[in-house]
A and B are shown apart, each in its own frame.
Chain A
């Protein structure tokens, strides 16, 4: 399986390998034969307009839905057949807010830790370290309800990192946030890729969140229309920038996959 961009992984196991995945809701097709892979320690932007199939893809990767056609592997573990092993390696930030508003930040994080079999002193240590990582010191015992949207997102990111995943999935994590919050969260994630070697799949339709050095996967109405490094996708689509490339690729009349070979 070719990686989303560089192909530098060679023989190493892909952080995420999506192969020939299709999914429908009744007669409505949501994904159609989507294939791509992500190397460890890379930042891959999953681009697509609303309804492109990004959230469906996330639901399949996180095994909320079963993959009926195709396969999804996380570090070699099939999500359908070995979901436990696969899910232990992935941290997820969903598009919808998933904090329990009635509980404190600590209680929310502690609950998540227990869902990964982490308890007691170890859980407390990890929570205290990660709360610092996301810049939310001093808010540990505040009710989740009292946090701003950006702060909640930071807590959700800390929560996704609690069990020390090797792959992080973020589904439109910055939607509805102000520019400062978006920039801060994006910087946090990029630093984790750089320093901790976490593979990241960042779903977004905000093109300014994509950097030149990133890999991109572009979905349009359930079809994969491009994958590769930003520069290569821009070149293959004949555009002058990733914004223009995304705009062209997202138009329904655009045809074919701007696939970039390693």
Chain B
């Protein structure tokens, strides 16, 4: 410390005012959490680049190779045969949301280990609202990444109907919320950052591959009925289909229902897990200090 001496002037610190928070205060809180998440994302350029490179590798390399091997017949929402690149684009959007949602949970584990999480949790706003805001912040970052990917894909010749880019936004939002909520729930169960590798192996990869992100479900059913059942039980399957249909201005109601239901389920679980009176955090952790 350079200047240990007490400054002469001490700012007036008046007692806190009482009274409930109004809508304006809630919005300020939400904005603060979203801005922080965006700033963190901007400061971590590697995170942005890797989030973009991962789906682009699949699009440029994987899809180019497999388009000759994998034929995609005319299945809804497509009305004609489509290039394999076109088919996997919704799945790659889902991949970005999946990785970003898990990244968000990773950052929560990191924040908890580093102590930053405490600053969020001791806010006087309701815990559910703080977690919801955190999720919205995570989804905002995820959607930004998806649109960055879609721009590059457009230049690569993978184009959706122009209005599809608008229609897909609600689907991306809802799917992003579901995956962020899942990440948040998982983060409450992970005590240490090192355990996150397990999430990669047991959640991200199985979740991604056991879905119609890369191959249509009918092909999976032909290849392995068991895998097909697993795909049907996988919430990510419905996120991908919701996005796929939204690109063509259509709603896959089953997918919408499953994604909305899973979002509520995971969010509810995360709120309970982070609730001081019921949560897993209290039971699993010590005070974390020396005192």
Interface residues of A (CB under 8 A from B): 25-26, 28, 30, 48, 50-59, 62-66, 68, 80, 83-89, 92, 94-100, 102-103, 107, 110-120, 126, 129-130, 132-135, 148, 150-151, 154, 159, 161, 163-166, 171-172, 175, 177-178, 180-181, 183-185, 187-188, 191-192, 195-198, 203, 205
Q: Within the assembled complex, what's the spacing in Å between the Cα atoms of A205 and B115?
A: 21
Question: Which of B4, B33, B44, B118 has a CB less than 8 Å from the CB of A102?
Answer: B44
Q: Within the assembled complex, what's the spacing in Å between the Cα atoms of A86 and B18?
A: 10
User: What residues of B have a CB within 8 angstroms of the CB of A203 in the complex?
Assistant: 291
Most buried by A among B4, B39, B130, B286: B4
Q: Within the assembled complex, what's the spacing in Å between the Cα atoms of A181 and B275?
A: 36
Q: Within the assembled complex, what's the spacing in Å between the Cα atoms of A110 and B33?
A: 10
B277, closest chain A residue (CB): A66
How many B residues face the partner with a CB closer than 8 A? 57
Q: Is B232 an interface residue (CB 8 A)?
A: no
Nearest-neighbour CB distance to chain A for B233, whole angstroms, equals 34
Q: Is B223 an interface residue (CB 8 A)?
A: no
Residue pairs across A and B with Cβ atoms less than 8 A apart, 5 shown, are A59-B287, A66-B276, A172-B291, A177-B1, A196-B13
Question: Which of B4, B25, B29, B283 has a CB less than 8 Å from the CB of A26?
Answer: B283
Contact yes or no, A55 B124, CB < 8 A: no
Contact yes or no, B121 A64, CB < 8 A: yes
Question: Which of B7, B18, B291 has a CB less than 8 Å from the CB of A50?
Answer: B291
Q: Within the assembled complex, what's the spacing in Å between the Cα atoms of A148 and B11?
A: 23
Nearest-neighbour CB distance to chain B for A224, whole angstroms, equals 14
Contact yes or no, B9 A196, CB < 8 A: no
Question: Which of A28, A48, A118 has a CB less than 8 Å from the CB of B28?
Answer: A118
Question: Which of A26, A53, A103, A178 has a CB less than 8 Å from the CB of B40?
Answer: A103
Given that A164-B13, A191-B6 are contacting pairs, would A114 and B289 also be in contact in the complex, using a CB cutoff of 8 Å? no
Nearest-neighbour CB distance to chain A for B117, whole angstroms, equals 8
Contact yes or no, B283 A192, CB < 8 A: no
Contact yes or no, B32 A114, CB < 8 A: yes
Contact yes or no, A64 B118, CB < 8 A: yes
Q: Within the assembled complex, what's the spacing in Å between the Cα atoms of A40 and B13?
A: 13
Q: Is B226 an interface residue (CB 8 A)?
A: no
Contact yes or no, A119 B32, CB < 8 A: yes
Given that A114-B31, A129-B11 are contacting pairs, would A100 and B291 also be in contact in the complex, using a CB cutoff of 8 Å? no
Interface residues of B (CB under 8 A from A): 1-7, 9-16, 18, 21, 24-26, 28-29, 31-33, 35-36, 39-40, 43-44, 114-116, 118-126, 130, 275-278, 282-283, 285-291
Contact yes or no, A171 B289, CB < 8 A: yes
Given contacts A95-B289, A192-B10, 12 further A-B pairs with CB under 8 A are: A26-B283, A50-B290, A66-B278, A96-B118, A100-B40, A102-B39, A133-B7, A133-B9, A164-B13, A166-B15, A187-B5, A187-B6
Q: Within the assembled complex, what's the spacing in Å between the Cα atoms of A161 and B14?
A: 10
Contact yes or no, B1 A107, CB < 8 A: no
Contact yes or no, A83 B289, CB < 8 A: no
User: What residues of B have a CB within 8 angstroms of the CB of A133 in the complex?
Assistant: 7, 9-11
B32, closest chain A residue (CB): A114
Question: Which of B3, B12, B39, B122 has a CB less than 8 Å from the CB of A62?
Answer: B122
Nearest-neighbour CB distance to chain B for A162, whole angstroms, equals 10
Contact yes or no, B16 A97, CB < 8 A: no
User: What residues of B have a CB within 8 angstroms of the CB of A30 in the complex?
Assistant: 286-287
Contact yes or no, A184 B6, CB < 8 A: yes
Question: Which of B6, B28, B289 has a CB less than 8 Å from the CB of A58?
Answer: B289
User: What residues of A have a CB within 8 angstroms of the CB of B43 in the complex?
Assistant: 102-103
Q: Within the assembled complex, what's the spacing in Å between the Cα atoms of A15 and B24?
A: 28
Q: Within the assembled complex, what's the spacing in Å between the Cα atoms of A97 and B113?
A: 10
User: What residues of A have a CB within 8 angstroms of the CB of B121 in the complex?
Assistant: 63-64
Question: Which of A55, A80, A98, A116 has a CB less than 8 Å from the CB of B291?
Answer: A55
B25, closest chain A residue (CB): A117
User: What residues of B have a CB within 8 angstroms of the CB of A175 in the complex?
Assistant: 290
Question: Which of A92, A111, A117, A184 has a CB less than 8 Å from the CB of B3?
Answer: A184
Contact yes or no, B290 A51, CB < 8 A: yes
Question: Which of B32, B44, B126, B286 has a CB less than 8 Å from the CB of A110?
Answer: B32
Contact yes or no, B13 A198, CB < 8 A: yes
